[in-house]
Structure 1
Amino acid sequence: MQQENQTTISEFFLLGLTMGSEQQQLIFTLFLCMYLVTMVGNALIILAIISNTHLHSPMYFFLANLSFTDIFFTTTTVPKMLADIQSQNPTISFAGCLTQMYFFMLLVDLDNFLLAAMAYDRYIAICHPLRYTALLNPKCCALLVVIPWIISNLVSVLHLSLLVPLSFCDHRAVPHFFCDLEPILKLACSDTEINDLLILVVGGAVIFIPFTFIFVSYALIVSTVLKIPSAKGKWQTFSTCGSHLSAVSLFYGSIVGVYFLPSSSYSAEKDKVAAIMYTVVTPMMNPFIYSLRNKDIKRALKKLLSRESFVWIW
C-alpha cells in the first residue's frame, strides 16, 4: 500500500509538561521568570565583554559567543511553550515545527562546539602560555566559531531533509513541549530506519568528538597542573577551569540523559526533565557559573551596571 503523503499533516499538538490547569499557570510563571533571567544574564555577559577592553581576549570572545547562542537557544523553545499555555491551543504548523527543529539542532550543536573551543582555550593558556597569543590569534578564534556554525547548519539541514519525506498519517500529538527530532520520528508511520541511523552516527559524532576533545584537553591540563610544585599554585591554575567544567558537566549530563540512555530506561517524563535541563536551566545558569567564579567578569559587570544605573537615573 502506498504511504500517505506527509502533507496530510498540517500541524502537530504539543502536549507540554502537564495537563492540569493549576499546574500550567505555575509552570508559566516559573518558566517566564527563568526565561527573563536567561535573557538578562546572558545579555549582561555580552555587554560586559564588549564594553570592557580588558576582556577582549579569546577566552571571553568564546564566552560572549556562548551567551549569544544561549539567548537564541532558549528563545527557540520557551516563548512558544509560554504562548501555548496562555492560549490553551498548543498547536504548531508542520512548517513551524520544522523551523523550530532546525534552529534547535543548530544551536544545541553550536553550544557543544563552543564548549570544545573554550576547552582548547584553557589548554593553550595553561599548557602553552608563552604561545597563547600566537596560537589563539584573531583568525584562529574566528575559525573556531565560523566552522562550528557551518557544521551545525549542515547537520540540521541533513536531519530535516530526511524528515520531510516521511509520512505521519493521523498521528499528531507530540509528548513534548517543543518539536524535538526523536518525538517527531516516533509519530511517523513510514520507515525511519535511515533517520535513526543518522541520529546515531552523525548526532553521536557531533556530541562524541567535541566531548572527546574536551576530555583530552583536560587530561593534558591536569598533567601540567600536577607538575606545579606548590599546592596553592596548582589550585589557582586549575580554578580557572572550574566554571567551564561546571558548564560542561551540566550540558553533557542532560544531553546523555535524553539521547544516549538505553531504551529500557527511556520515558517521556525523563525526556522532558532532561530537555528542560539543557534547553532552559543550562542557558540560565551559564551567566552565574562564569560570573560568580571570575573576578574580571564581576568587575566588568559592576562597572557596566553602575554606568547603566547612572544613565537611567540621569
Structure 2
Amino acid sequence: MALRNHSTVTKFILMGMSADPHIEALLFVLFLVIYLLTLMGNLTLLLVIRADSHLHTPMYFFLSNLAFLDLCFSSVTVPKLLVDLLSEKKTISVQGCLAQVFFVSITAGTEACLLSVMAYDRYAAICHPLLYAQVMSHELCVRLVLVSWGLTGLNSVVIVLLAVNLDFCEDQIIHHYSCELPSLLPLSCSDISINFDILIFSTLLQGLGTSPSIFFSYACIISSILTISSTTGRSKGFNTCSSHLIAVILYFGSGMIRYLMPTSGSSLDLLFSLQYSVVTPMVNPLIYSLKNKEVKAAVKRTLEKYL
C-alpha cells in the first residue's frame, strides 16, 4: 500500500465508545467478558464437532465453519477496541485501518454467504430428507464454503484497492470504535462517488444475493412443516431450523442497516456495528447449542471421554 496518496494524514483517531475514563473502564470489563465468552463458546463448538463422530454431518460442517468465522470476525475489531479503552490516544495507522476494512469486509461477507448456504442445507434436510445425503455431499459442502470465501475475498480486495487511492487531507477523526468503510469514506477529500456506489452495490449484492435463497428456503420449509400431521413432527421441524432463523435475523438486520443507512456518527451506528460484529459472534454458539439436543449430548460425551 503506497503512502503517496496519504502524505498529509498517516493515522486516524478513533473516537471510541466514550470519553469518560470511568465508563471506559466499565466498557473494558464488559467487552473483555464478551470476547472471552465468544472465544470459549466458538472454540468449544469447533472442538466438540471435530471430536464427536455423530456430528460429522453437513449441518455441523457448516456450523463449525460459522464458529471459525465468528472467531475471526470478533478478533478483527474487539482486541483493538479493548486496547483503545485503556489508552489515552486512540489512534490507528492508515495501513492498519485499511487492513481492518479488508478483514471486516471478508469475514462479514463470508458469514452472510454461509448463513445462506446453511438455509439451503436445512431446506434439503426437511423438504427432501430421502435425498439429503446425495444432495448435500461432502464435496458440495466444501465447494460451497470455498466459493463463499472466494467471492467475498475478491469483493473485499476490490473495495480496499479503491480505498487505497483515496486522499485523506485534514479530518482524521473516525466517529466509531473501528475502521469500517461507511465511517472512513466521509473523511476523504477525494471524489468518493465511485467508492460509495461500489459499497452500496456490494452490500446489495451480498444482501440480495443471499437473502432470496434464505427466504425461498424457509418458505419451502414452513410449507413442508405445515403439511406434517403430527404435532410432534411439526415441533421437531420448527426446532430444526429455528436456531438458524434467529441467527439470520440478528445478523442481517443490523448489518444491512449499518451499511445501507448514511453514516451519522451517532450512537445508532455504534449499536448496529456492535450487534453484528461483537454480540452476534458471542450468541451464535449459545443459539445453536442451547436449542440443540445433539450438540448438548455431544458436549456430554466429549466431557466424559476426556475428563
Give, in whole Å, the separation in 2 of the partners of 1:169 and 1:65: 41
Residue 295 of structure 1 corresponds to 293
Give, in whole Å, the separation in 1 of the partners of 2:190 and 2:265: 22
Pairwise CA distance, 1:256: 2.7
Alignment match of 1:273 (pick from 271, 274, 279): 271
Pairwise CA distance, 1:114: 0.8
Give, in whole Å, the separation in 1 of the partners of 2:220 and 2:159: 35
Pairwise CA distance, 1:6: 2.3
Q: Sort the Cα spacing of 1:36 and 1:93 in 2 relative to 1 into closer, same or farther, 3 A.
A: same
Residue 97 of structure 2 corresponds to 97
Give, in whole Å, the separation in 1 of the partners of 2:299 and 2:279: 22
1:222 is aligned to 2:210: no
SS of the equivalent of 2:158 reads helix
Give, in whole Å, the separation in 2 of the partners of 1:5 and 1:53: 53
Residue 234 of structure 1 corresponds to 234
Give, in whole Å, the separation in 1 of the partners of 2:206 and 2:136: 23
Give, in whole Å, the separation in 1 of the partners of 2:189 and 2:154: 26
CA-based RMSD of the aligned residues comes to: 1.4
Give, in whole Å, the separation in 1 of the partners of 2:89 and 2:252: 33
SS of the equivalent of 2:92 reads strand
Q: How does 1:31-110 map to 2 (within 5 A)?
A: 31-110=31-110
Q: Sort the Cα spacing of 1:34 and 1:110 in 2 relative to 1 into closer, same or farther, 3 A.
A: same
SS of the equivalent of 2:12 reads strand
Q: TM-score, normalised by structure 2?
A: 0.96
Task: Give 1:245's aligned amino acid.
Answer: L
Aligned 8 A contact 2:49 2:55 in 1: yes
SS of the equivalent of 1:89 reads coil
Task: Give 1:8's aligned amino acid.
Answer: T
Post-superposition CA distance 1:77-127 (Å, at most 9, x none):
000011112232211111111111111100000110110111011000011
Post-superposition CA distance 1:16-62 (Å, at most 9, x none):
01111110000000000000000000000000000000000000000
Q: Sort the Cα spacing of 1:86 and 1:307 in 2 relative to 1 into closer, same or farther, 3 A.
A: farther
Give, in whole Å, the separation in 2 of the partners of 1:108 and 1:200: 15
Pairwise CA distance, 1:232: 2.5
Aligned 8 A contact 1:257 1:271 in 2: no
Task: Give 1:159's aligned amino acid.
Answer: I
Give percent identity, aligned residues only. Answer: 41
Q: How does 1:87-236 map to 2 (within 5 A)?
A: 87-236=87-236
Give, in whole Å, the separation in 1 of the partners of 2:79 and 2:302: 28
Pairwise CA distance, 1:266: 4.8
Pairwise CA distance, 1:267: 4.9
Gaps in structure 1 of 5+ consecutive residues:
none
Aligned 8 A contact 1:73 1:279 in 2: yes
Give, in whole Å, the separation in 2 of the partners of 1:267 and 1:8: 23
Give, in whole Å, the separation in 1 of the partners of 2:304 and 2:273: 36
Give, in whole Å, the separation in 1 of the partners of 2:149 and 2:255: 19
Q: How does 1:239-254 map to 2 (within 5 A)?
A: 239-254=239-254
Pairwise CA distance, 1:5: 3.1
SS of the equivalent of 1:92 reads strand
Task: Give 1:268's aligned amino acid.
Answer: S
Runs ≥4 in structure 1, deviation > 3 angstroms? 305-308
SS of the equivalent of 2:41 reads helix
Give, in whole Å, the separation in 1 of the partners of 2:172 and 2:97: 12
Pairwise CA distance, 1:191: 0.8
Bigger mean CA deviation after superposition, 210-219 or 230-239: 230-239
Q: TM-score, normalised by structure 1?
A: 0.94
Give, in whole Å, the separation in 1 of the partners of 2:304 and 2:145: 31
Aligned 8 A contact 2:119 2:217 in 1: yes
Pairwise CA distance, 1:306: 4.1
Aligned 8 A contact 1:11 1:94 in 2: yes
Task: Give 1:301's aligned amino acid.
Answer: V
SS of the equivalent of 1:9 reads coil
Aligned 8 A contact 2:117 2:144 in 1: yes
SS of the equivalent of 1:241 reads helix
Task: Give 2:283's aligned amino acid.
Answer: M
Give, in whole Å, the separation in 1 of the partners of 2:5 and 2:171: 13
